[in-house]
Chains A and B, each alone.
Chain A
Amino acid sequence: MRPFIIALTFLVLTVSFFSGNSRAAEKELMMATTTSTDNTGLLDYLMPRFKAATGIEVKWTATGTGRALRLGENCDVDILMVHAPAAEKKFVENGFGVARHEIMYNDFVIIGPERDDADIKGKSIKDALQTIRAKQAVFVSRGDNSGTHKKEIYLWQVAGLPIPEKESWYIQAGQGMLATITIAAERGGYTLTDRGTYIKYSDNLGGDPPLKIMVAGDRALVNQYSVIAINKKHCPGARHELAGKLIDWISGAEARQLIRDFKLLGKPLFTPGAKK
C-alpha cells in the first residue's frame, strides 16, 4: 500500500497548491491583441519598457481581431489592441469600449511570387483583384475573421467583386498571418498581409523571401491600429485606471519614438500615431 499512500499525499499537496494560486496580482493588465503586434515581436519590445516606466505588468493573448473583440465584450480582458476600425467603432458604439485611441499604423500590401503569373505588379488594388479573379490565380485568405480578413473582404467589395468564397483558386487558411504567408509561398499564390508581418517574414528568410510586394500604396490599404479600454459600465471588474495608464504611455513621446525605432532589415514596421 505504501506507494499509494505516497501518491495520495502527492495528490493532496498538488490540490492544495491548486486552490491557493488563482488570484491575479494588483498591478496587472490583461490585453487581447491581434497576431501581428505579437508575431512581429513589437509587444515583447514595448511592454517590458512600459513595466519599467509604470510598474504595471501587461499580460496579453494574441488572437484574431474578431476573437479579441469578443473577449472584450465578455469582460475577459481590460484593454484591446486591434486593427479593424469599422468593427471597433461598432464595439465602442455598443458601449463595450470607452473610446478608440489610434496609436500606430502601417499599410497592407498584396504579395505574390516573384514571377507574378497573373501580372498584377504595380496595378491599383482594384485592378489587381479583378485580374486575380479573371485569371483565377491562387489567392490565400486568412479566413479567420481577423482584422486582415475583414480588410480583405472590404477590398473585394471596393473592387466591385463578390467574395470568391467557393472558388477553387481561393484558399481560406484559417490561420495567423505568418502561417498564411507560408501557405501562399508553398502554393505560389497571392495574399494580403500587413507590412509589419511581411518584413518579419522576410527577416525570417534572411531578407530574400520567395514572395514579393506586388501592390502597395493605395489609400484603401491603410492599416490603423488602435487601443480601446473596456468600458467600466459594461464590465465593472475592468481595470480601467491601469488601462488608461497604458493608453497615455503608448500615445506619449517615449513610446512613439520606441515604435519608430522598431526595425527589422533596417525598415520600420509601424509608424506611430493616426494616418491622416
Chain B
Amino acid sequence: MNFLVEGFFQAFRLLVSGNSETYAAIAVTLKVSGYSIGCSLLIGIPFGFCLGYFDFSGKKTIRMLVDTLMALPTVFIGLLVYAFLTHRGPLGNFGLLFTLPGIAIGQTILALPIVVALSATAVENMDPKLRCAIMSMGASRRQLFLSSLWECRHGILAGALAAYGRVMTEVGISMMVGGNIKWHTRTITTAIALETNKGKFGMGVALGLVLMIIALGVNVSVSFFRRRN
C-alpha cells in the first residue's frame, strides 16, 4: 500500500523537477496520440456522418461491423500492424516499425471505430424536426448538410474525447509496434508497464497520475471550448 502514497508525491516531484525521462514520455504520448486522433477524426467524422445521415442498403451490417470493431483488443491490433510494418512485411520498406508514425497507424485503427460509431449515433439522434425546420427556411442541400453537422457537434466531440481517452491510455500497440525505446517511443503507458515490471511500483503510480493530470487538462480545455460556443 505504501507505494500508492509514495507514488502520489513522486508524481508531483517528477513534474516539478522537470524530470527529463518523464517529460520525454509525456511528449511522445501527446505527439503520437495527436497524430492518431487527428487521422481518425479526419477519416472517421465524414464516414460516421454519412453512415448516420443517409439511408442505404447494408447500413445495418456496416453499423454492426463498426460496433464490433470497437472491441478490437489493442495487443491484437499491435500484432496486425507489426505484421505489415516488419521489414519482411508488405509495408516494411517504409521503415515505420519502432517509430511514432508506426504506433499512430495502430492507434488510428483503434480510434476509428469509436469516432465512426459515435458520430453516426450523434447524427441519428438528431431531432428529425430540425431537418424539416432547416429545409423550411429554404436551405440548400449543402447548407442542410453543414448545419446538421454543426447541430450534432456535441455528440461528435463526445466521441472524439472517448477515442482520445482510449488512444492515450492504450499500451498494447505502443509496446508491440513502438518497442518501448527510451527517449524515442516510450509513452507514459509503456513506461508504467516497464516500471511495474521492474518492481518500481511507486514510479508506476506516479506516471499513472501524470497521465490522469494530462487527461484532466484535455477535458477542462474541451469543456471551456464547449461553453464558449
A positions within 8 Å CB-CB of B: 1, 3-4, 7, 10-11, 14-15, 17-19, 21-24, 30, 35, 39, 44, 59-63, 74-76, 175-176, 178-179, 181-182, 200-201, 204, 235, 237
B62 in contact (CB, < 8 A): no
B197 in contact (CB, < 8 A): yes
Residue in contact with A22 in the complex, picked from B39, B95, B197, CB distance below 8 Å: B95
Once bound together, how far apart are the Cα atoms of A204 and B197, in whole Å? Answer: 12
CB proximity of A55 to chain B, nearest CB, Å: 16
Once bound together, how far apart are the Cα atoms of A181 and B197, in whole Å? Answer: 10
Once bound together, how far apart are the Cα atoms of A21 and B101, in whole Å? Answer: 8
Once bound together, how far apart are the Cα atoms of A200 and B200, in whole Å? Answer: 11
Residue in contact with A182 in the complex, picked from B35, B89, B199, CB distance below 8 Å: B199
B positions within 8 Å CB-CB of A: 34-35, 38-39, 41-42, 86-89, 92, 94-101, 104, 146, 150, 153, 179-182, 184, 194, 196-200, 225, 229
Residue of B nearest to A58 (CB): B181
Residue of A nearest to B146 (CB): A1
> Does A11 contact B42, Cβ atoms closer than 8 Å?
yes
**18 more CB-based (< 8 A) A-B contacts, given A18-B101, A30-B98:** A4-B150, A11-B42, A17-B35, A19-B101, A21-B99, A21-B101, A22-B95, A35-B197, A59-B179, A63-B179, A76-B86, A76-B97, A76-B98, A178-B197, A178-B198, A179-B197, A179-B199, A181-B199
> Does A61 contact B88, Cβ atoms closer than 8 Å?
no
> Does A21 contact B100, Cβ atoms closer than 8 Å?
yes
Residue of B nearest to A47 (CB): B182
CB proximity of B38 to chain A, nearest CB, Å: 4
Once bound together, how far apart are the Cα atoms of A61 and B88, in whole Å? Answer: 18
What are the residues of chain A within 8 A of B41 when measuring CB–CB?
A: 7, 11
